[in-house]
Amino acid sequence: MIRNNDAISPYQIAMIIIMTVTSVGVFSIAGYAAEAAGPDGWLVVAITGALNVLAVLMIVRLNSRFPGKTFAEYSQTIMGTIPSKILTFLFAVYFLLFIAHETRAFTEIVKMFLLFRTPTEVIMLSLILVCTYIVRGGVECIGRINELIFPILFIPFFIVLMFGFPLMDFSNLRPVLQTTPAKILTAVPELMINFGGIEVLFFYIGYMKDPKKAYKPAVLAVIFITLFLTAITVFCTAAFGSKVTTQFIWPLVNYIRAISLPGLFIESLDGVILSLWMLTVFTTIVSAYYIVSYSISKVVGTKEQKQYVLPLAIVIYYIALQPDSLAELYKWGGAIFPYTISFFLYVLPIVLLLIAKQRKLGVS
Amino acid sequence: MKAKKSVRLIAVMTLCMLFTTGCWDKIEIEDRLFVLAIGVDKVKKEEQHVTEDRYTLSFVAPVVSEDKEGPAPTFNTYQVVNNSVIMSLSQLLERFSQKQFFGHTRAIFFGEDIMKDEKLFKKVVDGISRYHELHNSMYIYVVPGRAEDVFKVKPKYDKLLMPYITGITENSDYTSNILKLTLSDVIISLTDQKGGLVIPRLIPEKEDVNMSGAGVIKDYKLIGYLEDKEVGAYNRLMNKAKGGYVSVEYNGAAVAFRHFTFRRDIKLSKVEDGKIYLNYNMETEGSIEEYILGQKILDDVLIREVEKKVEKNIETESEKLIKKFQKEFGVDLIGVGDYLSKYQPKLFKTIEGDYDTYFINNIEIKVTADAHIRRVGFIR
């Protein structure tokens, strides 16, 4: 059931992908990459990104067989009602955990940097409630907010990154290609978690007037993210060397903090880090949040999704408070997301596409 | 209808107040104590309150109150004793009405005794690099004797102590005899060189400080010092030098050569009988700043001769320092391992296992300098 005013333009699809994928992973990816492959870490990121382009192509292909329908609707045609509802519900659970993970990671950094005495609950709730407001606005609202925040996030981001050029020593990226290919390839699944969020396409393409138009923006968006993450990995490795990069929890934060501006007009860029962090998390949560409420409304069989949004805020808040520490949060994240992401991003589209082809469902 | 709307509006506004008024983390700027520098020392036996006390920390903060008249002090120094660095930092809360703030801390001084204790030194570096308020761009110094002595200096040429000291460090763009080292350099060097580091030395005097020489750290322990001139050579070997001066004897007089740029490249020349031969190529250009009145220097033959002298000077000084690192300190802090691992990874893998002894015995370095004198000033 799609309402008349819920339409997303191809440009907004690109923005939704970019803003959903850029999340807390941006700050930590360089460390994982350097740990996996040393100075060749950026190569692992690039390869992971290239694989994701294939995944995105498959998702768009699957969706364009069923124009005007989201995953929750066309999966019923493909697999029947019950399996479809189970899958949709799994989607909701996965994104719920994803949002909780993001919220908690964000809260921890805020508490560490800025608001030591502010209760965790207040930080979390104020973030979730703002997201709730936008999600109630519907799909078009989400498309627009992503479109709006994209320049607000990326222009300062690039400027800040540029200030770090004096820190860099590109000889730190040498020796090139001394890691064995086997090691590089085994590192790819570990980095997949940083690309989590592309799965939202399963739903959002359904709101496009012509799904075939999604190919170009979707692929471009994934290429953009890949370049962005590769650049960050290169910058951090060049600035600190691969050994030191692995020591940091958030290498990008250390990178920005190591910058000292000439003339000391603004001495430290801590505030900038926090605002960038805030924006990345906010948009990720908004995009995923809508899918949770939408999936639940489909599973239950109601027409609207609005009424589920506010109760879900409590669920997210509760789950986000479950991990005891940052270490436990990362342990849980590492135990859940690599599997869910590889399932939803690779296994699911291939299987559904094969069944749909076999049974000649949808328009080809 | 209208009344209902205004009731609703008031309700919303009251609700908003709940979220916007409570600010848990507000600290007024008057309540902040801006700590500008920290000195870390091993605790003296007689200063220990309990046996767990390991550190003496000194701080300096500017006095911000307005009613300063006459020769009142412009900055204050404090001292605390505790068992770890961060505990000592927080101990300031028990002493002062203000809350300390380290976002503007510009330097950390290490006493010599802490540098000689591996365990304590590792703890300090971990503490300051983990703490979120301290910045990675802080300067780091080693003080022969005790770091607390730095805080007793009453600078003659400057009102405040810290801008004075960091200002000297920032002159490293113009003279190669000063070493500039930030906290992030320290972390990088300690990790990459497995506990090796060259750290600028600061000698406190009564009314000024003397930035000369550098401490050499091997396996997280201070093992010796470089002298003033050797710091220049070290900067050149590590490609850290920018501007600087070289003085050479020519024609019975000292000729000053000033350079603004300096470049060093390492090339592998050959591997023979298990020995590695490396070439350090240095290139610089600059001008002659001082010669003898009445004698002409603007002559390409003469200039070439002076260039030769400058090159010779740079080469001998560098080679002397290389020998010192190989024979006296026995630690590779001159970029050999760095170069080999980056540009000759296969060769490096074969010697990586026992690199330290390999570096002492089997690495031969030849320094080749290439100086260009472009200008001679206003006099021919």
Give the one of A113, A115, A240 whose C-beta lies nearest to B24's C-beta: A115
Residues in chain B: 380
Handedness of CA A31, A35, A40, A43 (dihedral sign): negative
Query: What does the domain layout of chain A look like in residue ranges?
Result: 10-352
Do residues B212 and B241 share a domain? no
- Which residues on B lie below 8 Å from A254 (Cβ)? 136, 184
CB–CB of A254 and B25 under 8 A? no
Interface check for A311 against chain B (CB to CB < 8 A): the answer is: no
Q: Where are the alpha helices (DSSP H) in B263-353?
A: 300-323, 336-343, 345-351
Please give the DSSP secondary-structure letter assigned to residue B44.
P
Per-residue pLDDT tens, chain A, 364 aa: give them.
Answer: 445 567 888 899 999 999 999 888 888 899 988 888 888 889 999 999 999 999 999 999 888 888 888 888 888 888 888 999 999 999 899 999 999 998 998 898 888 877 888 888 888 888 898 899 899 888 888 999 999 999 999 998 888 888 888 888 888 888 888 778 888 888 888 888 888 888 898 888 888 888 888 899 999 999 999 999 999 999 999 999 888 999 888 898 888 888 877 655 566 677 777 888 888 899 999 999 999 999 999 898 888 888 888 899 999 999 999 988 888 988 888 888 888 888 888 888 899 889 888 888 777 6
Do residues B55 and B121 share a domain? yes
Give the one of B192, B343, B345 whose C-beta lies nearest to A241's C-beta: B192
**Dihedral-angle region of residue B280 (phi above 0 means left; psi in -120 to 50 means alpha; beta otherwise):** beta
CB–CB of A117 and B25 under 8 A? yes
Report helix, strand or coil for A291. Answer: helix
Do residues B196 and B269 share a domain? no
- Which residues on A lie below 8 Å from B347 (Cβ)? none
Number of domains in chain B: 2
- Which residues on A lie below 8 Å from B25 (Cβ)? 114-118
Do residues B220 and B234 share a domain? no
| Residues of B (57-116) whose Cβ lies below 8 Å from A | 103-104
Domain boundary, last residue among B165, B198, B226: B226
Q: CA of A248: which chain B residue's CA is closest?
A: B130
CB–CB of A254 and B188 under 8 A? no
Predicted confidence (pLDDT) per residue in A8-43, tens digit: 888 999 999 999 998 888 888 999 888 888 888 899
**What's the CA gap between A39 and A33, in Å, rounded?**
9
Number of inter-chain CB pairs under 8 A, A vs B: 57
CB–CB of A119 and B24 under 8 A? yes
Any idea what the CATH number is for the domain that residue B304 is in? 3.30.300.210
Residue A190: how many CB atoms within 10 A of its CB?
16
* pTM score: 0.88
**pLDDT at residue B150 in the model:** 86
Q: CA of A177: which chain B residue's CA is closest?
A: B345
Give the one of A115, A116, A257 whose C-beta lies nearest to B136's C-beta: A257
Q: Does the N-terminal peptide bond of residue A10 adopt cis geometry, omega within 30 degrees of 0?
A: no
Nearest to B55 by CA among B24, B27, B81: B81
Predicted confidence (pLDDT) per residue in A128-182, tens digit: 988 998 998 888 889 999 999 999 999 988 888 888 888 888 888 888 887 788 8
Do residues B88 and B130 share a domain? yes
Residues B178 and B244 sit within 8 Å (Cβ to Cβ)? no
Separation of first and last alpha carbons in chain A: 22
Interface check for A115 against chain B (CB to CB < 8 A): the answer is: yes
Inside any domain, residue B15? no
Interface check for B366 against chain A (CB to CB < 8 A): the answer is: no
CB–CB of A258 and B191 under 8 A? no
Q: CA of B182: which chain A residue's CA is closest?
A: A258
For the record, the structure tokens of B278 come out as 């490396």
Inside any domain, residue B18? no
Nearest to A13 by CA among A175, A217, A278, A273: A217
- DSSP code string of A299-350: HHT-S-SHHHHHHHHHHHHHHHT-SSSHHHHHHHHHHHHHHHHHIIIIIHHH
Inside any domain, residue B1? no
Domain boundary, last residue among B165, B199, B226: B226
Do residues B210 and B358 share a domain? no
Q: CA of B20: which chain A residue's CA is closest?
A: A126
CB–CB of A175 and B103 under 8 A? no
| Residues of A (228-257) whose Cβ lies below 8 Å from B | 240-241, 243-244, 247, 254, 257
Q: CA of A174: which chain B residue's CA is closest?
A: B342
Do residues B95 and B140 share a domain? yes
Give the one of B24, B132, B191 whose C-beta lies nearest to A112's C-beta: B132
Interface check for A258 against chain B (CB to CB < 8 A): the answer is: yes
Inside any domain, residue B177? yes
Residues B357 and B332 sit within 8 Å (Cβ to Cβ)? no
CA B78 to each of CA B58, B97, B176: distance values in angstroms, whole numbers, following the listed order: 6, 14, 34
CB–CB of B343 and A175 under 8 A? yes
**pLDDT at residue A1 in the model:** 45
Do residues B222 and B287 share a domain? no
Interface check for B242 against chain A (CB to CB < 8 A): the answer is: no
Domain boundary, last residue among B226, B242, B271: B226
Interface check for B19 against chain A (CB to CB < 8 A): the answer is: yes
Inside any domain, residue B302? yes
Q: How far is B297 from chain A (nearest CA, A)?
A: 38
Mutation for A interface: B122, B131, B134, B136, most A CBs within 10 A: B136
Tell me the longest C-alpha to C-alpha distance in chain B: 103
Inside any domain, residue B43? yes
Do residues B254 and B219 share a domain? no
Residue A222: how many CB atoms within 10 A of its CB?
26
Inside any domain, residue B20? no
For the record, the structure tokens of A5 come out as 């005013």
**What's the CA gap between A295 and A201, in Å, rounded?**
13
Per-residue pLDDT tens, chain B, 380 aa: give them.
Answer: 677 888 988 888 888 777 666 677 777 877 888 888 888 888 887 777 777 777 788 888 777 665 555 555 667 788 888 888 888 888 888 878 888 888 888 889 998 888 888 888 888 889 888 888 888 888 999 998 888 888 888 888 877 888 888 888 888 888 888 888 988 889 999 988 888 889 999 998 888 888 888 999 988 888 889 888 888 889 888 888 888 888 888 888 888 888 888 888 888 888 888 888 889 999 998 888 888 888 888 888 888 888 898 899 999 999 999 988 888 888 888 888 888 888 888 888 888 888 888 888 888 888 999 988 888 888 87
**pLDDT at residue B75 in the model:** 76
Interface check for A180 against chain B (CB to CB < 8 A): the answer is: no
Do residues B105 and B184 share a domain? yes
Residue B42 belongs to domain spanning: 26-226
Q: CA of B341: which chain A residue's CA is closest?
A: A175
Beta strands in chain A (DSSP E): none
Do residues B238 and B344 share a domain? yes
Query: Domain A10-352 - what CATH class?
Result: mainly alpha
Do residues B284 and B304 share a domain? yes
